[in-house]
Amino acid sequence: MSYTEIKRLFRSPDEYIGKTITVPGWVRTVRDSKTFGFIELNDGTFFKNLQVVFEDGKLDNFKEITKLSVGSSIEVEGELVETPNAKQPFELKAKRILVESFCPADYQLQKKRHSFEFLRTISHLRPRTNTFSAVFRVRSLAAFAIHKFFNERGFVYVHTPLITGSDCEGAGQMFRVTTLDMKNPPRQKEGDIDYSKDFFEKETSLTVSGQLTGEAYALAFKNIYTFGPTFRAENSNTARHAAEFWMIEPEIAFADLKDDMILAEEMLKYVINYVLENAPEEMQFFNSFVDKGLLERLANVVNSDFAHITYTEAIEILEKNKDKFEYPVEWGVDLQTEHERYITEQVYKKPVFVTDYPKEIKAFYMRVNDDNKTVAAMDLLVPGVGEIIGGSQREERLDTLEKRMDEMGLNKEDYQWYIDLRKYGGTKHAGFGLGFERAIMYLTGITNIRDVIPFPRTTGSCEF
């Protein structure tokens, strides 16, 4: 059977007007009078529906079609005709409508507004709604934009491992991965678990970041990125935290913090532009129904040169306005979302890179600046969200890295292979991380992370 997709009709109508085509899809609504009726048909390839018109006398099964229920799957053969005076540009005049399945009346997606909370309970059906079809098409396009961006620049895509034997990545609580019998695990004499009997013959967990292994590949390929799932076993039941989410982590060698920021700015603009160009209907929908200022905010990001400011300068600005904040501000503290948003929304009114944070509040692998007080780190703050990207130049000096690890009480033996990367062919390098779901929330205006993940995993919730 040769089917035509609804997306093709909307993108290249001239190819199809006047022709007889067959379109399968799902019924979104049916309206009928005695002798004719209309079906809004959606086939999943396009945000908008195709209007099907059917008439008594022209169909064998006119009666059956008038009784079609929302959600039913059908196949329509007909002629595509222009409708110059109507809301929609064309309609399909049905010659034959084949019903593949009637949808029963207890179908939960009847034509009415449903709360996002309710729709989360039917995550297997919600991509059939306008909002979620838009969210998950944008998610797909944004993912492709990221791959395309890095591919065009010759970056090597690296699948860093998810199961890790190192519990020292330090970015958060981890999930244990095991095949041991939980009820009667093998034990050592002292009663401790005998992990030498586990699948990997050691304790293993789910990774919180691909950065460290990514660095090994950057020091072979120069420019690499990862794009894969990461995990946090943190008990934070907020709208911004999920236990399983996707991250993008580029890593560039022979490059410093400045190169890192240029890359982050180019990438973010590229992804926004790609989605605006390739999902105009969806983005218009978000702007109208989810977040009124969305398109203006994104246009502002794309068209502005991002600002640059040091952490020390940021603290000075914030201290002058300290009565505006709930959390206190002084040199040495980490910035809270309210501080970040103040700087990007009120002071600069555009995206801002904040650089050179106190070394005490940043990770051991970030390069120590000459002042020995700050590190070559950067956070990108964007209006409406706060931090969206965090990165740094990495400490490439073997002695400085080892000193930092000692200071922070890390066991260097666990990191021997990572130290090797400095010892053998080490070079300046830098990288950053972008939480993919945060980016999708930013692109769509959706405010709960559960609504941008197909089947979200959060504290106490792992359905489907």
Residues 392-431 that bind a second copy (CB under 8 A): 396, 417-418, 420-428
Identity of the residue numbered 283: M
101 interacts with a second copy by CB under 8 A: yes
Q: Which is nearer to a second copy, 362 or 429 (CB)?
A: 429
Give the binding range for a second copy (CB under 8 A) out of 66-74, 265-273, 291-299, 306-314.
66-74
Closest distance to a second copy from the beta carbon of 387 (Å)? 22
Give the one residue of 49, 133, 209, 355 binding a second copy; rule: CB under 8 A: 133
Give the one residue of 56, 93, 127, 307 binding a second copy; rule: CB under 8 A: 127
Q: Which residues of 239-274 are buried (b: 16+ CB within 10 A; e: fewer)?
A: eebbbbbbbbbbbbbebebeebbebbbebbbbbbeb
130 interacts with a second copy by CB under 8 A: no
Give the one residue of 79, 96, 120, 162 binding a second copy; rule: CB under 8 A: 162
99 interacts with a second copy by CB under 8 A: no
Give the binding range for a second copy (CB under 8 A) out of 71-79, 110-118, 293-301, 376-384.
71-79
Cα–Cα distance between 105 and 115 in angstroms, integer?
20
Give the binding range for a second copy (CB under 8 A) out of 117-125, 262-270, 311-319, 357-365.
117-125
Closest distance to a second copy from the beta carbon of 16 (Å)? 16
Q: Which of the 8 DSSP states describes residue 128?
A: G
Footprint on residues 174-233 left by a second copy (CB under 8 A):
175-180, 182-183, 185, 191-193, 199-202, 204, 206, 213, 216-217, 219-223, 228-229, 231, 233
For residue 280, give the H/E element and its range. helix 280-289
Packing angle of the helix pair 257-278, 280-289 (nearest 10 deg): 90
Give the one residue of 19, 31, 67, 124 binding a second copy; rule: CB under 8 A: 124
72 interacts with a second copy by CB under 8 A: yes
Q: How many CB atoms lie within 10 A of CB 168?
A: 12
Closest distance to a second copy from the beta carbon of 205 (Å)? 9
Cα–Cα distance between 24 and 38 in angstroms, integer?
15
Packing angle of the helix pair 280-289, 294-303 (nearest 10 deg): 120
- Per DSSP, the three-state class of 174 is coil
Give the binding range for a second copy (CB under 8 A) out of 111-119, 335-343, 386-394, 456-464.
456-464
464 interacts with a second copy by CB under 8 A: yes
110 interacts with a second copy by CB under 8 A: no
Q: Which is nearer to a second copy, 383 or 456 (CB)?
A: 456
In the numeric block, which tokens belong to residue 82? 């222009």
Sign of CA pseudo-dihedral 339, 345, 348, 350? positive
| DSSP labels, 358-415 | EGGGS-TTBPBPTTSSEEEEEEEEETTTEEEEEEEEB---HHHHHHHHHHTT--GGGG
Closest distance to a second copy from the beta carbon of 386 (Å)? 24
Footprint on residues 227-286 left by a second copy (CB under 8 A):
228-229, 231, 233, 235, 243-244, 246, 253-254
Give the one residue of 21, 68, 94, 158 binding a second copy; rule: CB under 8 A: 158
- Pick from 278, 243, 7, 264: which is nearest to 144 by CA? 278
| DSSP labels, 321-368 | TGGG-SS---TTSPPPHHHHHIIIIIISSS-EEEEEEEGGGS-TTBPB
| Strand-pair category, 386-393 with 50-55 | unpaired
